[in-house]
Amino acid sequence: MEIDLPGVLAEVKLAFERYEEALTANDVEVLHVLFHDDPRTIRYGGGENLYGYAEVKAFRSARSAANLERTTAKTVITTYGHDFAVASTLFFRKTAPGKVGRQMQTWAKFADGWKVVAAHVSVIDEPKAS
């Protein structure tokens, strides 16, 4: 298996950046497009466990647009072959000092493009620097 093929990696980076932009702008339509429309799609969030695209879509549609701004750090995207990737990032919000968010997404390439098929988001106390 080929890991991090340059063209594939570039495609996933663009999809990930599109997701981040849509998330902070609360562009719900783009967020809907970027998740795979399938009952097996899963998103574990900070306070919810969403099973299936319908639950993910309902969550996104009902979510408040307030305080979504964030910065990311240590983003790692790894592709496996031509159709599978994992994206991991840390994120920080001014509204949550002392906290660090962690986000992992599993991406798969379908005929209509790259889609998130599984995601996990959690927030912890920011580890103390050593």
The CA distances from residue 69 to 9, 19, 43, in Å, are 25, 13, 20
- Domain spans of the chain, in order of start: 6-125
68-119 pLDDT, tens digit per residue, is 899 999 999 999 999 999 999 999 999 999 999 999 999 999 999 999 999 9
When pLDDT is cut at 50, 70 and 90, the band that residue 128 belongs to is confident
Which runs of consecutive H residues, i.e. helices, occur in the chain?
6-25, 28-34, 53-62
Which runs of consecutive H residues, i.e. helices, occur in 35-83?
53-62
18-77 pLDDT, tens digit per residue, is 999 999 999 999 999 999 999 999 999 989 999 999 999 999 999 887 878 999 999 999
Residue 5 has pLDDT above 80, yes or no: yes
- Quick one: 84 exposed, middle or buried, by C-beta within 10 A (0-12, 13-18, 19+)? middle
CATH code for residues 6-125: 3.10.450.50
Query: Under 8 Å CB-to-CB from 122, ≥6 apart: which residues?
Result: 44, 46, 101, 102
